């Protein structure tokens, strides 16, 4: 028998999700020119890493994000890996990573032969906590005479930090970048969940040398599988394009490669899908924000939890909507998840915090009380843009 809280939560979700409908966590939507553009690739035979849609997709990305250059990759993990390499991360370095993130953020660090150094997140944004980070680095880090930040406990360089905009909610990037500058640490902005989100009126991805995006099938805009780097530095962009395209030296017919490179270029057929999806980004964001508003209203009368809202001064794309149980109700989380899923509502907890994954338990880490508290109390709700359709029609908007 469902308990009283479960029944009220299910009823609240069903105010938003049509009764009897099984709602997955997030699904793609194809209502625009997707078929036309993909068919064009097939008809013309340009389906691999060369073709006009790749260039077009990168051009549309820089328009959408306000940065000068873009390089489209096969997936977000590849984009993160490439960004870390461009920032000089090498074997044996440490990289500051939020303990609350998808595993790809940490995996990209491992791909460089480097070591994730996990830091705490905060309740107000779910992203890296600048206050906790500043206090922690004051104890464990120092900048050497050469300007390199060193972990005093391990004697390894701390080369970069990778803040993440969790579920589309912008992290406090100005504060984080100020800390990074103080310690001489490069900043890579993991905006893989946040395309369409803004901070102080500007699209995310502007802080730090490189922003990283993802276009996996569950993202707000999809290329099937894909990612991208966005940046303003021309030399950095040229370097990304070179080593991300097998380090091939331009030549009319010869296969010349001048260093180890990576086959990370996005195929044209995926880019075609992405071009059609980007045309609809404003509509996706508008409907997802409408969905978030409906969820917030539906949960307003349940005192045992709160709907997670964007921080003042930001506009989230609400990639994934979330509710957070009040302190002391942690034991209700798994019961709620079980009942919601039994009801055809695909809800989930946060990712397992990175420091609790077996292969990362020996990685250096700061105290992580906020991360562990958030993970124990948060539940993600069905968040597909199409769920807002009935809301739009019912309000006449």
Could you report the per-residue pLDDT of 123-150, keeping only the tens digit for each? 999 999 999 999 999 999 999 889 999 9
Q: What is the sign of the dihedral through the CA atoms of 26, 84, 129 and 92?
A: positive
The percent of residues above 90 in pLDDT, for the chain, comes to 91
Strand 202-203 and strand 198-199: the pairing is antiparallel
pLDDT in tens, 74-103: 999 999 999 999 999 999 999 999 999 999
Query: Which of the four pLDDT bands, split at 50, 70 and 90, describes residue 116?
Result: very high
Q: Over 50: is that where the pLDDT of 197 sits?
A: yes
pLDDT of 394 = 53
Pair of tokens at residue 328: 């002391």
Query: Which of the four pLDDT bands, split at 50, 70 and 90, describes residue 2?
Result: low
pLDDT in tens, 12-25: 999 999 877 789 99
Share in percent of the chain as helix, strand, coil (round to 5): 40, 20, 40
pLDDT of 396 = 45
Are 4-28+281-395 and 34-278 equal in CATH topology? Answer: no
Q: So what CATH class is 34-278?
A: alpha beta
pLDDT of 392 = 60
CATH 3.90.1150.10 fits 4-28+281-395, yes or no: yes
pLDDT of 49 = 77
pLDDT of 329 = 95
DSSP letter assigned to residue 128: B
pLDDT of 21 = 76
pLDDT in tens, 216-227: 999 999 999 999
User: Would you list the domain boundaries of the chain?
Assistant: 4-28+281-395, 34-278
Full-model pTM: 0.95
**Cα of 113 vs its chain's centroid, Å:** 22
Q: Over 60: is that where the pLDDT of 48 sits?
A: yes
Q: Over 50: is that where the pLDDT of 354 sits?
A: yes
What is the C-alpha separation between 148 and 58, in angstroms, rounded? 33
pLDDT in tens, 367-376: 999 999 999 9
pLDDT in tens, 275-326: 999 999 999 999 999 999 999 999 999 999 999 999 999 999 999 999 999 9
What is the C-alpha separation between 96 and 128, in angstroms, rounded? 10
pLDDT of 1 = 40
Query: Which of the four pLDDT bands, split at 50, 70 and 90, describes residue 50?
Result: confident
């Amino acid at each position: 028998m469902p308990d009283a809280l479960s029944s009220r939560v299910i009823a609240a979700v069903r105010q938003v999700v049509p009764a009897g409908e099984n709602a997955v966590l997030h699904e793609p939507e194809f209502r625009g020119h997707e078929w036309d553009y993909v068919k064009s690739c097939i008809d013309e035979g340009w389906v691999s890493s060369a073709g006009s849609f790749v260039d077009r997709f990168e051009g549309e990305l820089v328009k959408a994000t306000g940065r000068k250059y873009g390089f489209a990759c096969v997936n977000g993990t590849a984009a993160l890996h490439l960004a870390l390499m461009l920032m000089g991360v090498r074997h044996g370095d440490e990289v500051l990573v939020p303990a609350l993130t998808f595993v790809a953020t940490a995996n990209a660090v491992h791909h460089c032969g480097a070591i994730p150094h996990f830091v705490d997140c905060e309740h107000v944004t779910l992203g890296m906590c600048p206050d906790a980070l500043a206090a922690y680095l004051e104890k464990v880090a120092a900048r050497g005479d050469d300007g390199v930040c060193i972990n005093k406990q391990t004697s390894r360089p701390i080369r970069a930090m990778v803040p993440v905009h969790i579920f589309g909610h912008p992290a406090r990037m100005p504060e984080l970048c100020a800390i990074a500058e103080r310690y001489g640490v490069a900043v890579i902005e993991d905006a893989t969940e946040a395309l369409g989100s803004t901070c102080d009126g500007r699209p995310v991805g502007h802080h730090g040398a490189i922003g990283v995006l993802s276009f996996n099938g569950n993202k707000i805009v999809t290329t099937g599988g894909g990612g991208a780097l966005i940046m303003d530095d021309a030399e950095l962009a040229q370097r990304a394009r070179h080593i991300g395209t097998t380090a091939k030296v331009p030549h009319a017919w010869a296969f010349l490669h001048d260093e180890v490179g990576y086959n990370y270029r996005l195929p044209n057929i995926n880019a075609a899908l992405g071009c059609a999806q980007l045309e609809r980004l404003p509509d996706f964001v508008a409907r997802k924000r409408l969905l978030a508003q409906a969820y917030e209203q539906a949960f307003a009368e349940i005192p045992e939890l709160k709907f997670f809202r964007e921080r003042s001064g930001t506009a989230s794309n609400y990639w994934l909507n979330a509710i957070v149980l009040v302190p002391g109700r942690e034991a209700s989380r798994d019961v709620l998840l079980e009942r919601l899923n039994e009801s055809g509502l695909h809800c989930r907890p946060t990712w397992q915090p990175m420091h609790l994954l077996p292969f990362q338990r020996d990685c250096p880490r700061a105290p992580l009380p906020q991360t562990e508290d958030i993970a124990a109390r948060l539940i993600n709700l069905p968040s597909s843009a199409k769920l807002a359709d009935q809301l739009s029609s019912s309000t006449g908007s």
